[in-house]
Amino acid sequence: MSTTATVPRPTVRDDPYPSRRGEPPALLPRVDPVVHGPADAGPLTADQVAAFDEHGVVVLPDVFSPQEVANLDAALDDLVRAVDPTAPEVIQEPESEEIRSIFAFHERRGPLAEVVRDERLAGAARQLLASDVYVHQSRVNRKPGFRGKDFQWHSDFETWHTEDGMPAMRCLSATVALTDNEPWNGSLLVMPGSHRWFVTCPEPTPPANHERSLRKQEVGVPDEGSLTRLFEQHGIEQCTGRAGSVVLFDCNVMHGSSSNISPLPRRNLFLVFNSVENALEEPFSAPQRRPTHIASRTVTPV
């Protein structure tokens, strides 16, 4: 008879960021760096790198010229006119048929797709993530006047980890404002410094959650107690700026935005750059992978 001891297999993958497992909510410390290397060469200044490290967000005013913004906004108009509104990449507002988001614009042709290779964005991502980067997700959020609804508080990484299998916090978003982002048209709200905490969410991911969550997120939205604790520690700041400005924000910073009840739209491009060393695995807590137009599995450096 063999005396070899059998090592018990863990039933749950070893994971510093457990979420959606039916456990009570908790604030867990981040184990990954925010700035992943010396970050001394690149388009961002030392002050901008330090601000990103400390706050998990940095606003870069007037990165794109008015002419560049006009070209991008015209390309977006063309896309909205041409796109099949029933295509899976097109997400409608929860309470109207207005287009809320269009995913995977980087896989199309033309000026919108070109933005991916713009060194002002990709170069900043490489600088902060200290590696080559690829596009994990791209989308435009249109926030139409009167009808553009809110985005609940969330950490993007919580969704990308549980639903897409992103292993570590080595990923960031870059937004490009195509309209002025004002205090009153639903601009981004962040809790600066909250990126140092991972807030676990109790509720398991239901099947095909993305079919609801992209219109109105419910699973993966932290409980009110955890959000209150984060607010008491970190407060809330709003990221406003003229059309052409860029916001870089860490994958785990707590953020959201209010509905747009003003007459003016708030149109932003979002590009999510992930480190090529942080490619997606199997979902950490979801019954199936999400489609690749939401979570790309093509790890091609930009």
Q: How far is the CB of 156 from Fe ion (least distance, A)?
A: 4
User: Which residues have C-beta within 8 Å of that of residue 43, sequence separation ≥ 6?
Assistant: 119, 120, 123, 124, 127
Interface region with ligand 6CS, contact rule CB under 6 A, candidates 16-24, 26-34, 73-81, 210-218: 210-218
User: What, of ligand 6CS, Fe ion, none, does residue 135 touch, CB below 5 to 8 Å by kind?
Assistant: none
Q: How far is the CB of 82 from Fe ion (least distance, A)?
A: 26
Residue from 19, 156, 170, 254 touching ligand 6CS (CB under 6 A): that is: 156
Report the amino acid identity of residue 222.
P
Report the amino acid identity of residue 57.
V
Residue from 32, 118, 156, 158 touching Fe ion (CB under 5 A): that is: 156
User: What, of ligand 6CS, Fe ion, none, does residue 214 touch, CB below 5 to 8 Å by kind?
Assistant: ligand 6CS
Between CA 194 and CA 196 the distance in angstroms is 5
DSSP character string of 91-113 = EE-TTSSSEEEEE-GGGSSSHHH
User: Which residues have C-beta within 8 Å of that of residue 252, sequence separation ≥ 6?
Assistant: 30, 56, 155, 156, 157, 158, 169, 194, 195, 198
Q: How far is the CB of 154 from ligand 6CS (least distance, A)?
A: 5
Interface region with ligand 6CS, contact rule CB under 6 A, candidates 19-27, 111-119, 149-157, 223-231: 149-157
How many helices and strands (H and E) does the chain possess?
7, 13
Interface region with ligand 6CS, contact rule CB under 6 A, candidates 104-112, 213-221, 235-243, 274-282: 213-221
Order of strands across the sheet with 237-239? 151-154, 255-257, 188-190, 237-239
* Closer of 150 and 223 to Fe ion (Cβ): 150
Report the amino acid identity of residue 247.
V
User: What, of Fe ion, ligand 6CS, none, does residue 217 touch, CB below 5 to 8 Å by kind?
Assistant: ligand 6CS
* Closer of 52 and 249 to ligand 6CS (Cβ): 249
Q: Does 163 bind Fe ion (CB under 5 A)?
A: no
Q: Does 214 bind ligand 6CS (CB under 6 A)?
A: yes
The helix (H) or strand (E) run that includes residue 121 is helix 119-129
Question: Of 144, 135, 126, 158, whose CA–CA distance to 251 is shortest?
Answer: 158
- Binders of ligand 6CS among 279-298, rule CB under 6 A? 294
**Secondary structure letter of residue 276 according to DSSP:** G
* Closer of 156 and 250 to Fe ion (Cβ): 156
* Closer of 200 and 213 to ligand 6CS (Cβ): 213
Q: How far is the CB of 108 from ligand 6CS (least distance, A)?
A: 19
Interface region with Fe ion, contact rule CB under 5 A, candidates 29-37, 38-46, 106-114, 154-162: 154-162
Residue from 36, 143, 154, 195 touching ligand 6CS (CB under 6 A): that is: 154
Order of strands across the sheet with 57-60? 57-60, 246-250, 171-177, 268-275, 133-141, 99-103, 90-92
* Closer of 175 and 285 to Fe ion (Cβ): 175
What are the distances in angstroms from CA 19 to CA 71, 91, 167, 283? 41, 25, 13, 11
Q: Where on the chain is the footprint of ligand 6CS (CB under 6 A)?
A: 137, 151, 154, 156, 159, 213-214, 217, 294
